[in-house]
Structure 1
Amino acid sequence: MKLTRLFDLIPHQISTYDKEVALARKEEGIWKTYSSRELKMIVDKLSLALIRTGINPGEKVAIISENRPEWNFVDLALQQIGAVSVPMYPTITSDDYAYIFDHAEVKMIFVGDKEIYTKAAAVAADRQIYSFDQIKGVEHWSALDEKGESGDLAKLEELKEQVKSEDLFTIIYTSGTTGKPKGVMLSHSNVLSNVLSVSNTMTPPPGISKVLSFLPLCHIYERTGSFCFIYMGFSIYYAENMDKIGDNLKEVQPHVFNTVPRLLEKVYDKIVAKGYELTGIKKNLFFWALNLGLKYDPAADMGGWYDFQLKLANKIIFSKWREALGGNVMQINSGASALQPRLARVFWAAGIKVCEGYGLTETSPVVSASVGNYDEIRIGYVGKIVKDVQVKIAEDGEILVKGPNVMQGYYKEPEMTSEALKNGWFHTGDIGELDGEYLKITDRKKEMFKTSGGKYIAPQVMENKFKESPLIEQLIVVGDGKNYPSALIVPSFDGLKEYCRRKDIPYLSDSEMISNSEILEKYQSEIDGLNKYFGKWEQIKRFKLLDKTWGIDSGELTPTMKLKRKVIHQKFSKEIESIYQA
């Protein structure tokens, strides 16, 4: 069958795979599953119910929930009647909800749980709210499901026929690192073209193929990913929560999952911390394997002796890493921010294929993606440009993108749209380089700054390098208009505790340790060791340690864990000034 709208993926999955498990979520300790045919039946009934409640083509409906099958049910049901979904992060504030509800002219709201309901209800005005969890006094989504029982399926088929591939399917408000969020308008063809392009970069294993999903569905990365998994016949299992990912990986034993570099950094740091707890020959073997992995290049001939050692390391050390991820992982897709090359090296050495990609909400999102085989992977690059997408580098180094995946524009923002889309090319705001088909990201155009000496600093590259230290959790490079760059550093307190244990330094509170002279000397040594990778004008001259980790809820990180630079500069302005006054 020809696929022209995203909801066409449901009959495609039934005719091609007819999955026993299309979607799954754990409820009260048991995995509740939905087959391909159950998915179609529920979505059809929900579409009919939405028609009966007065939702018309083109009208907007908000979805605010953690990942769960009900999210997909509502999303697909809205598509079938030509309505437009407005997905939102559960973690944003009531003020953000209010802005998006009004700006997008949201008519109806679906919420996941009581906490989200409370925030949404406070600013919902007279909009109807349905919940996925059972909440006293709130209409449950299943009431809609029942309403659709007596609907006219022929009428639904008529409405589905009227939905065109170029029709608006969703408005996604980008969290952004500054200012009010912008509503990115994406059509069926924008996202579907990307699904078909991205599917070329993965080969599902024969038989039962499974994916664990934990990145938020309201973000285009996981959302397009979910459509791709439906298209390719993967069973999608939703993780219980971020704290249970490790347990869920062992239970589900997925073949693929999507992640962000921050989570891979945490996995790696935990592995290394456990290595330090070992003693004797076990500890020596662990760090021998780790150091071997950090030198690995999957695209290079490492030599017979190295290959022999790596085979041995895989048998006695790295096999345990793969078991911790469920034992079946054939590919991990990493996106949303830059992946440290050392992590890519060590995971590939361990037989864990971490494939980095690049894209934006405005490009549905994938522009380039790495392919999970040893012949085509290039460490330090974000893969090859995907099928049907064009990329060129502007004179100032900015990455420009053209293709069927590029958005229709920003909702109600014609000036912003014309600024971003010029002569058919989308201006990404990212700086990069092309080496044949391979793309490398070097920094964000708007994040680069100049020292008082007129030298440009690309902070993202530096931050990624300095975070290679096991003692550094988070770091931001500052110094716009100053005579040298400096850094605010959030220590890895687990790493710091381990260091203190090994050096017999009594560990007091986090706030006391960051002013301890021995600890400050150690961080100076770490900075000095990593400064050698940069030019003299780029090197970090001074730093300030902070005792609180930056987070999404506290406002320093976007929901995809990127630094909100403006917020951090404002919050820690005194600390930054103190660096340059001392």
Structure 2
Amino acid sequence: MSRCAEALLARLVRHAEERPDTPALDDGHRRIAYGELLGEIEGRRARLAARDARRVALPLDNGLDWALWHLALLADGRVDVPVPGFFSEAQRHHLVTAAGLDAWIGPGGSALGFAATLDPAIACREVAFLPTLHAGTGMITFTSGTSGSPKGVCLDRDAPLRVAESLAEAVTPLRLGRHLAMLPLATLLENIGGLYVPLMLGATASLPGAAELGWTGGSGFDPRRALSAIEAFRPHSLILVPQLLQALVDLSPQAPAGLRFVAVGGARVAGSLLDRARDGGWPVFEGYGLSECASVVCLNRPGEPALGVGRPLPHARVRLAADGEVQVQGATMLGYLGEPPVDGWHASGDLGHWEGEHLVLDGRRRDIFITAYGRNVDPQWVEGELCARPAIAQALVHGEALPHNRALIVPATPDLDDRTLAAAIDAANAGLPDYARIGEWRRCAPFTPDNHQLTANGRLRRDTLHETYRDWLHAPADRAQDAATVPRRRHAMTPYQHLQAATRAERDWLLAAPLLTRALSGEVSREEYLTFLGQAYHHVRFTVPLMMACGARLPDRLGWLRSALVEYIEEEHGHELWILDDIRATGGDPEAAATAEPAPATRLMVSHVRDVIDHGNPVGFFGMVQVLEGTSTAIATQAAEGLQESLGLPDDAVRYLTSHGSLDIGHLAFFEGLVDRLDGEDLAAVIDTAKMVYRLYGAMFRGITARDATRELADALV
């Protein structure tokens, strides 16, 4: 056991003696007092030893189980790999393979090759080849990075605990008795600040599930539910990323009673937001850190003037390179998984300067852009000021070599009109110098971890966004409009909005299918559900081959779409096997379903799309994506819930529906970004294919209950 782990357990022993009845962990439904905490940990240590689990994935939601299993892994010195809940199936496969995981505690292991054991919580797998880890690795925290494959940061067992000791020392004067974890515990920042620090202080770590805090998926957030949780748990401390702080302050300008410390980090915080929060009594303290440095490096302390991101914590040494890059030593990573070990000073990629002992950040070195007039601009500064306006949820700013900066704008709600957004941008511009103001903007879909446009802790994945919107962001400036100083949009309707409007009638016809309307209220028979699964198998099994054919036939002007197809293929590979598993769990015969002849509408739908790819414009394939993913997001999750309730089905019988309901929300946002880069004949091809597939897909659903499926198909095509 590491020195810091021994010290933490020693503190737990002391807390058990001095305050045995004080809750150590509380999820809102169950509490574990300090007097029983060590026994709970020991029980899980024994279960891990019985399974000989060495490299263990922890994909659980926030709660007592996450905390207890994590502490057991820490005490035993086993390699702990927290798995963010928003990771896609492909990202999870990558994580399992890259780290050589042999145990999985939580849902979803069977799809990744883990088999059930005598212990219902622990699934295991044989690992023929163990990837080499850096010596001393105790935790691997996977960051979203700038590509679809997450990057593993290898930390020893002491590094996160050393950071926690520094944080505990910094907040001790506040006498914090309760912390509410608002971020996923799989996020290193909350793991350290929301679990280790309260336990070191003898305080209560409140760990309700994500849904109780208002989270939906990786990025959806309901601040009303979050405030209800804050009122229920009455915490003294919180950890927030800027977007959460923005949402909470917008809803509740006055801070909830009892809060003493709200740490904010993960991305740059707009000065105007910090001012508004503090004016309302929110005790906000900005900090700075990186996963490669075991999270927090600097923090503004209570009782000190708030300046920049604060002073370095006791465990960390910080210096600036000649070009202003921030370099850190102390509690840094052993190295990235699969890459050579590192030692010494870690180059952060952030630029900064000192004001006394406080570090002030000047932006990411690679993100700073230089306008056509030679002015350096940190986009995070401008983005922060834009997002401080209630109408704007997210923004990305670009102005390299441009006379006027451009911005991608995500509205706070989809129904906000352009006039409201323009007014918000005007208001932000009024507080910015002329060289930093926004001259052109366009609205777009939300940036989320699911569409690879946002990291787990809320940072923009700029490479992905710049690639997705390259044609607009990097287009040469229009000289006729160079003198304009107010926001403007070049299109009254984006290509994606045009696609939606052009196919509305066909989409409405599909969604009006009697089987779909009955499914939402749980009025579908088991036979009808099995018939649907059988038809789904016969079109889903062609999805990946159609994607591959599309990629092979795309013209050079659309070559940028191939990288998107690669991501889709990684996500969709093997989903037809999920359907066969659902058929088996529902009581059907998967082998018979796989060999049965598909219905005419199903067969014609696949044939039509293949013909578009082979003999028309291959980009038309994305019309099929629009139909299938749009339908999933509209009805899949609700239909699955209705079917389970009415037919008494187990979770294993609705895996295809439940996975696609949530998965395709992120896909659809990603898809919108792709469509917005199309125009002319390419957009027309997508619209044409979508119209036909809506009709054929609707005929498939109607054919499931119709006596004469051929006649139903003919009616659909009239």
Could you tell me the TM-score, scaled by structure 2's length?
A: 0.59
Tell me if structure 2 keeps the 8 A contact 1:358–1:368.
yes
**Structure 2: which amino acid aligns with 1:370?**
N
Alignment match of 1:444 (pick from 359, 364, 389): 364
1:143 is displaced (CA, Å) by 11
For the pair 1:257 / 2:238, whether they are aligned, the reply is: yes
Q: For 1:340-377, what per-residue CA distance to the aligned partner results, in whole angstroms no more than 9, with x for missing partners? A: 2223223333333111111111111111111122xx13
Matches of 2:2 and 2:300, distance apart in 1: 25
**Aligned residue runs from structure 1 range 349-368, under 5 A:** 349-368=279-298
Tell me if structure 1 keeps the 8 A contact 2:82–2:140.
yes
Q: Secondary structure at the match of 1:541?
A: strand
Alignment match of 2:83 (pick from 85, 88, 104): 88
1:5 corresponding residue in structure 2:
4
Q: For 1:188-231, what per-residue CA distance to the aligned partner results, in whole angstroms no more than 9, with x for missing partners? A: 2212221221112102666x811111211111101111111110
CA 108–488 in structure 1, closer or farther in 2 if over 3 Å, else same:
same
Matches of 2:371 and 2:312, distance apart in 1: 34
2:263 corresponding residue in structure 1:
333
For the pair 1:378 / 2:306, whether they are aligned, the reply is: yes
Tell me if structure 1 keeps the 8 A contact 2:91–2:148.
no
For the pair 1:224 / 2:192, whether they are aligned, the reply is: yes
Matches of 2:317 and 2:174, distance apart in 1: 30
**Structure 2: which amino acid aligns with 1:338?**
R
Alignment match of 2:437 (pick from 539, 554, 571): 539
Tell me if structure 2 keeps the 8 A contact 1:211–1:255.
yes
Q: Secondary structure at the match of 1:90?
A: coil
For the pair 1:121 / 2:110, whether they are aligned, the reply is: yes
2:13 corresponding residue in structure 1:
14
Alignment match of 2:145 (pick from 173, 176, 193): 176
Matches of 1:565 and 1:535, distance apart in 2: 24
Matches of 1:523 and 1:191, distance apart in 2: 41
1:459 is displaced (CA, Å) by 0.8
2:463 corresponding residue in structure 1:
566
1:172 is displaced (CA, Å) by 0.9
Q: For 1:131-169, what per-residue CA distance to the aligned partner results, in whole angstroms no more than 9, with x for missing partners? A: xxxxxxx9632999xxxxxxxxxxxxxxxxxxxxx9422
1:387 corresponding residue in structure 2:
314
Matches of 1:179 and 1:349, distance apart in 2: 40
Tell me if structure 1 keeps the 8 A contact 2:272–2:385.
no
1:3 is displaced (CA, Å) by 8.4
Q: Secondary structure at the match of 1:22?
A: strand
For the pair 1:108 / 2:107, whether they are aligned, the reply is: no
Matches of 2:6 and 2:68, distance apart in 1: 11
**Structure 2: which amino acid aligns with 1:398?**
E
Matches of 2:67 and 2:83, distance apart in 1: 14
2:121 corresponding residue in structure 1:
141
Matches of 1:142 and 1:99, distance apart in 2: 20
**Structure 2: which amino acid aligns with 1:360?**
L
CA 356–143 in structure 1, closer or farther in 2 if over 3 Å, else same:
same
**Aligned residue runs from structure 1 range 271-310, under 5 A:** 271=252
1:236 corresponding residue in structure 2:
205
1:266 is displaced (CA, Å) by 0.5
1:385 is displaced (CA, Å) by 1.0
Tell me if structure 1 keeps the 8 A contact 2:411–2:421.
no
1:457 corresponding residue in structure 2:
377
**Structure 2: which amino acid aligns with 1:140?**
P
Matches of 2:139 and 2:122, distance apart in 1: 23
**Structure 2: which amino acid aligns with 1:24?**
D
Q: For 1:100-127, what per-residue CA distance to the aligned partner results, in whole angstroms no more than 9, with x for missing partners? A: 100100010112x5xxx2xx432x22x3
Matches of 2:455 and 2:281, distance apart in 1: 31
1:187 corresponding residue in structure 2:
156
Stretches of structure 1 that go unaligned for 5 or more consecutive residues are 131-137, 145-165, 273-320, 495-508
1:211 corresponding residue in structure 2:
179
Matches of 1:239 and 1:552, distance apart in 2: 22
Larger Rg, first or second structure (1 or 2): 2
CA 390–64 in structure 1, closer or farther in 2 if over 3 Å, else same:
same
Q: Using CA pairs below 8 Å that are at least 6 residues apart, which structure has the higher relative contact order?
A: 1
Matches of 1:366 and 1:545, distance apart in 2: 34
Tell me if structure 1 keeps the 8 A contact 2:287–2:298.
yes
1:406 corresponding residue in structure 2:
332
Query: As a proportion of its length, which structure holds more strand?
Result: 1
1:128 is displaced (CA, Å) by 3.9
1:97 corresponding residue in structure 2:
92
Alignment match of 1:65 (pick from 56, 60, 66): 60
**Structure 2: which amino acid aligns with 1:357?**
G
1:45 corresponding residue in structure 2:
43
Alignment match of 2:25 (pick from 23, 26, 33): 23
**Structure 1: which amino acid aligns with 2:465?**
I
Q: For 1:469-527, what per-residue CA distance to the aligned partner results, in whole angstroms no more than 9, with x for missing partners? A: 33322111123354542111123349xxxxxxxxxxxxxx54xx33xxx5576356335
For the pair 1:470 / 2:390, whether they are aligned, the reply is: yes
CA 99–333 in structure 1, closer or farther in 2 if over 3 Å, else same:
same
**Structure 1: which amino acid aligns with 2:388?**
E
1:196 corresponding residue in structure 2:
165
**Structure 1: which amino acid aligns with 2:144?**
S
CA 523–351 in structure 1, closer or farther in 2 if over 3 Å, else same:
closer
Tell me if structure 1 keeps the 8 A contact 2:147–2:452.
no
**Structure 2: which amino acid aligns with 1:560?**
N
Tell me if structure 2 keeps the 8 A contact 1:7–1:76.
no
1:180 is displaced (CA, Å) by 3.2
Q: For 1:430-465, what per-residue CA distance to the aligned partner results, in whole angstroms no more than 9, with x for missing partners? A: 111112211111211122234456553321112112
Matches of 1:143 and 1:39, distance apart in 2: 24
**Structure 2: which amino acid aligns with 1:22?**
A
1:78 corresponding residue in structure 2:
73
Tell me if structure 2 keeps the 8 A contact 1:107–1:128.
no
Tell me if structure 2 keeps the 8 A contact 1:239–1:245.
no
Matches of 1:579 and 1:129, distance apart in 2: 57
Tell me if structure 1 keeps the 8 A contact 2:136–2:157.
yes
Q: Secondary structure at the match of 1:337?
A: coil
**Aligned residue runs from structure 1 range 506-517, under 5 A:** 509-510=415-416, 513-514=417-418
Could you tell me the TM-score, scaled by structure 1's length?
A: 0.72
CA 19–91 in structure 1, closer or farther in 2 if over 3 Å, else same:
farther
Matches of 1:189 and 1:554, distance apart in 2: 34
Tell me if structure 2 keeps the 8 A contact 1:476–1:489.
yes
Matches of 1:356 and 1:54, distance apart in 2: 42
Matches of 1:437 and 1:269, distance apart in 2: 32
Q: For 1:290-337, what per-residue CA distance to the aligned partner results, in whole angstroms no more than 9, with x for missing partners? A: xxxxxxxxxxxxxxxxxxxxxxxxxxxxxxx23xx3x21111111111
CA 446–128 in structure 1, closer or farther in 2 if over 3 Å, else same:
farther
Tell me if structure 1 keeps the 8 A contact 2:143–2:456.
no
Matches of 2:65 and 2:7, distance apart in 1: 18
**Structure 2: which amino acid aligns with 1:100?**
L
1:152 corresponding residue in structure 2:
none
Q: Secondary structure at the match of 1:67?
A: coil
1:552 is displaced (CA, Å) by 2.9
1:33 is displaced (CA, Å) by 0.5
Matches of 1:579 and 1:247, distance apart in 2: 48
Tell me if structure 2 keeps the 8 A contact 1:354–1:372.
no
Matches of 2:300 and 2:286, distance apart in 1: 6
Tell me if structure 2 keeps the 8 A contact 1:204–1:234.
no
**Structure 2: which amino acid aligns with 1:253?**
R
Q: Secondary structure at the match of 2:326?
A: strand
Matches of 1:80 and 1:7, distance apart in 2: 8
**Structure 1: which amino acid aligns with 2:280?**
A
Q: Percent identity?
A: 24
